[in-house]
Amino acid sequence: MKDTTINWKNQVTNLLETQYPVIQAPMFGVSTPAMAAAASKAGCLGSLPLGDLSVDDCIGAIRATKQLTDKKFAVNIFVNEIPEITDSLRAQYAETKRFIEQLAADHHMNVDLPEIDTLKINSYHDQIDALISENCKIVSFTFGNLDQQSIQKLKNNETILIGTCTSVEEAMILEKSGIDIICVQGIEAGGHRGSFTSENIPQIGGLSLLSQVYDTVNVPLLYAGGIYDGKTLLAAKTLGAQGFQIGSLLLGSVESALKEFEKERLRSAKENDIILTKSFSGRYARGVQNAFMIAIDSTQYILPYPYQNKLTAGLRKAAKLNENADFVSIWAGQSLHSFSQESTENILLNLIKKAEHDPWQ
């Protein structure tokens, strides 16, 4: 193996104040304060997923992470629009609830799912002031674009903003809004799609999309989707990425919130098992196919996000307790590998080391 000269310093490392332009992906339900701290220890950027948590829960998670690291880390929020609860949605919700409860009973699980009026739906607008009060200097977001008032609030706090795109059109919208860094998400990436301009998600291969976005916008780009070794990282670098967001590679790590039975299912997955589905959340996400996805995907029992996600939360919780991989959402990308059980720090440093040697020798 021969050394390849890599100068890791660039716009991304300067903006994020990291040694390497490697970002631990904010995987809601998987990433933990310990994972963010471990990524920071490796000289990378740790990310804390806050999703649509309440203000109090956001503050608790941020403070828990600060206890583990004194380095900057990103916080990630969902900025989707929230559909109004109409009579039609109420009726659809009730039907979907009955169907899922019966499906669970048929598989020997008793679940009591919430009524629509008891759901707690949090808007990202409620989170912005909390992020500023906790002095969060790097905010990434997905499922949409921040409104201009929120962007200005965060900019006034000298916050670096990282938006997610799945098309050239979305990248242009983010750049025009003044977003500092754009994360380009390829169709092969695990987890939820960051799409926001259309209900019909752009199914564009990541490297093709990255190259097109690079030719179109002038802000530094991160790339997310399929990076799991030195070759894939260098491919993204060659096509214009200045930063590399790593998600699926960390699913089996010590700091991952996945249970051992979920990690075992990942390690046994084959390429045909990884699919796009709206079954659990109402938004497209890529993960390991199971009985719930098969039962739901071809039916009308899929509510708009976040209602489907809130409705299935109790089902997923019960399935975790029962170690039933057929009723949990195990999100993963198309680049299957061994899903290392090492620490996040070691996994990321090993990835960097592989990229620093000629991977084709």
In angstroms, the CA 303 to CA 292 distance is 15
Strands 138-142 and 181-185: unpaired
Listing DSSP states for 172-193 in one string gives HHHHHTT-SEEEEE-TT-SEE-
Q: Where do we find the tokens 């057929």? A: 326
- Whole-angstrom CA distances from 26 to 78, 224, 305 are 11, 11, 19
The pLDDT assigned to 200 comes to 85
State the pTM of this model: 0.96
What angle is formed at CA 50 by the lines to CA 168 and CA 194, rounded to 5 degrees?
20
Beta bridge partners, 246, equal 24
Residue 183 corresponds to which amino acid?
C
The pLDDT assigned to 3 comes to 54
The number of angstroms, rounded, from the C-alpha of 196 to the middle of its chain's C-alpha atoms is: 14
H/E segment holding residue 121: none
What angle is formed at CA 259 by the lines to CA 258 and CA 261, rounded to 5 degrees?
120
CB 69 within 8 A of CB 42: no
The pLDDT assigned to 4 comes to 60
The pLDDT assigned to 198 comes to 86
Rg (CA), the chain: 20
In angstroms, the CA 337 to CA 70 distance is 32
Residue 205 corresponds to which amino acid?
G
What is the CATH number assigned to the segment(s) 1-82+121-254+338-361? 3.20.20.70
The pLDDT assigned to 288 comes to 98
Residue 210 corresponds to which amino acid?
L
Beta bridge partners, 181, equal 162
CB 203 within 8 A of CB 187: yes
Residue 253, judged by CB atoms within 10 A of its CB (0-12, 13-18, 19+), counts as buried
In angstroms, the CA 210 to CA 171 distance is 10
Mean pLDDT in order along the chain per 10 residues (361 residues): 77 98 98 98 98 97 98 98 96 98 95 95 95 98 98 97 98 98 98 93 95 98 97 96 98 98 98 97 98 96 98 97 97 96 98 84 40
CB 357 within 8 A of CB 4: yes
In angstroms, the CA 113 to CA 100 distance is 9
In angstroms, the CA 81 to CA 86 distance is 15
Q: Which residues contact 342 (CB under 8 A, 6 or more apart)?
A: 253, 254, 350
In angstroms, the CA 114 to CA 94 distance is 10
The number of angstroms, rounded, from the C-alpha of 293 to the middle of its chain's C-alpha atoms is: 19
The pLDDT assigned to 2 comes to 54
Sorted by where each begins, the domain ranges of the chain are 1-82+121-254+338-361, 83-120+259-329
H/E segment holding residue 222: strand 221-224
CB 330 within 8 A of CB 288: yes
* End-to-end alpha carbon distance in the chain: 6
Using DSSP's 3-state secondary structure scheme, residue 298 falls into coil
